[in-house]
Amino acid sequence: MSASLTRVPTLSITTLHLLTYIEIEIVKRLNFSYILDMLSEIMLYLFVIISGAILAVHIILSVGVLANRIRDILGVDVDLKLPKVSVVVAAKDEEETLPRLLESLKAQTYTDFEIVLVNDRSQDGTGKIMDAFAEKYRGRVKVIHNQKEPDHTYPKQFALDIGVEEAEGEIFIFTDSDCMVPTGWIENMLSYFKNPRVGVVFGQISLIDSGTFLEKYQGFDQPLIHQYNSGSAGIGIPTGCFGNNLAARRAVIEGIGGFKSLGYTLTEDAALISAAGKKKWKVRVSTLKKAMIKTIPKLSWKDFINQHVRWNSGAYYSQDLSTRLGYRFIVLYLLASVAVIPFTFFMPLLLILPVTSFINIGLLSMLSGLLYREDKTAFLLRVVPYTLFFMFFYAFIILLSILKISPEWKGKKMKSTQLYS
């Protein structure tokens, strides 16, 4: 009896101590600093996973860029028996730049082609320059003067459809009036169409980057952006391109119903690439320098920003779901990586975002410079500061697109999904 009575309080005290210990541990674990540490650890894992995914995407894109180059090294022969070609150029108020393009077209080594020029409601001497050129080269040049305002479509889409309807070629090659093309441009672009499954080809671009910082930076910026397009096409997932160095079969254009069938878009070239891919046409990227065009940089920051907002909005609000989601994943990560920089002083783990973005962009910019730049030394000296500037500048452009700030094109305000005066 006495032994039993002495055991009870001992067990009660042990139980009490255990409960007290559990309560203390629960309080400790509910401590704010502990919760903060736990959340920080979860955030770190999350950032590592997302950053790893975005890095993997850029590595895959780099593989695509190199795959394009390897295909060309293995051999792309010129076949002069290809069907007739139509070079289509739509221009509005381009009297200052158009003559240089026409001179470069006149110097082509491939001669079996026609030139279709669309004067799209120009208010300057663009139409007269076209007419004079057509008069000089009768039988090879067509000029269409369009005065009609497009309805429910981007003006460039409308003008290109006019040119395509008048063209007689089986293969269309598109460029812009502010470009200059090398003498072997047409024959080298045509060489890819030996494969009957190749429906669209787009080539490299370069810019005259001497002069101001803005001009030099554009010589870095546009070829870099082009590598994103090049890489995605290289792995068989074409999402976009620059339309100033673009070739397509008539069967592709007619098969999708013309540019108007793409719906309203600020980037009709990218929409065409995506539509062709969905129709199971092969999209190829030319890495040949003989097919690389040279374009003129924007002379003002206003024009440059408008250009990039237009391009970015076209992809960000693309009607193609895969293009839209893939693009948003990349650019929203870049925006986040720049936005967190001020907070890295308090949370160093956030540095993983901007560091990853720098590596990603630097990787593709290095490929662009080493593969295509003639002045590689000057490029290498600029690559670090220009990559950093690209991160901040493009984050700014992304923000403008998200806010649906309307870009201007040819004196007209555009919206991301519709046009207004």
- Partners of 115 in the β-ladder: 87, 141
- Does 361 share its domain with 399? yes
In a domain, 34, yes or no: no
In a domain, 24, yes or no: no
Structure tokens at 303: 């024009």
In a domain, 1, yes or no: no
- Does 123 share its domain with 258? yes
Q: Which amino acid is present at 18?
A: L
- Does 279 share its domain with 294? yes
- Does 383 share its domain with 261? no
On whether the CB atoms of residues 85 and 169 are closer than 8 A, the answer is: yes
User: How high is the pLDDT of residue 8?
Assistant: 44
Last residue of a domain, one of 260, 282, 299: 299
CATH number of the structural domain spanning residue 260: 3.90.550.10
Could you give the number of structural domains in the chain? Answer: 2
On whether the CB atoms of residues 242 and 222 are closer than 8 A, the answer is: yes
- Partners of 219 in the β-ladder: none
In a domain, 219, yes or no: no
Residues written for the chain: 421
- Does 111 share its domain with 146? yes
Per-residue model confidence as pLDDT tens for the chain (421 residues): 444 444 444 445 566 566 565 655 655 555 666 666 677 777 778 888 999 999 999 999 999 999 999 988 887 555 546 678 999 999 999 999 999 999 999 999 988 899 999 998 888 899 999 999 999 988 899 999 988 877 767 788 889 999 999 999 999 999 999 999 999 999 999 989 988 889 999 999 998 777 889 999 999 999 999 999 999 999 998 888 888 999 999 999 999 888 888 877 778 888 888 888 888 899 999 999 999 999 999 989 999 999 999 888 888 888 888 888 989 999 999 999 999 999 988 888 889 999 999 999 999 999 999 988 888 888 888 999 999 999 999 999 999 999 888 777 666 666 655 533 3
Last residue of a domain, one of 281, 299, 317: 299
- Does 327 share its domain with 350? yes
In a domain, 15, yes or no: no
Mapping DSSP onto H, E and C, the string for the chain reads CHHHHHHHHHHHHHHHHHHHHHHHHHHHHCCHHHHHHHHHHHHHHHHHHHHHHHHHHHHHHHHHHHHHHHHHHHCCCCCCCCCCEEEEEEECCCCCCHHHHHHHHHCCCCCCEEEEEEEECCCCCHHHHHHHHHHHCCCCEEEEEECCCCCCCCHHHHHHHHHHHHCCCCEEEECCCCEECCCCHHHHHHHHHHCCCEEEEECCEEECCCCCHHHHHHHHHHHHHHHHHHHHHHCCCCCCCCHHHEEEEHHHHHHHCCHHHHCCCCCHHHHHHHHHHHCCCEEEECCCHHHCEEECCCCCHHHHHHHHHHHHHHHHCCCCHHHHHHHHHHHHHHHHHHHCHHHHHCCHHHHHHHHHHHHHHHHHHHHHHHHHCCCHHHHHHHHHHHHHHHHHHHHHHHHHHHCCCCCEECCEEECCCCECC
- Does 294 share its domain with 184? yes
User: How high is the pLDDT of residue 322?
Assistant: 82
- Does 254 share its domain with 347? no
Alpha-carbon distance of 41 to 18, in angstroms, equals: 30
- Partners of 295 in the β-ladder: 179, 207
Alpha-carbon distance of 200 to 171, in angstroms, equals: 9
Alpha-carbon distance of 215 to 295, in angstroms, equals: 11
- Does 53 share its domain with 125? no
Last residue of a domain, one of 266, 299, 332: 299
- Does 70 share its domain with 177? no
Q: Which amino acid is present at 338?
A: V
In a domain, 215, yes or no: no
In a domain, 172, yes or no: yes
Structural domain boundaries enclosing 253: 76-203+241-299
Alpha-carbon distance of 45 to 127, in angstroms, equals: 60
- Does 192 share its domain with 336? no
In a domain, 35, yes or no: no
- Does 189 share its domain with 287? yes
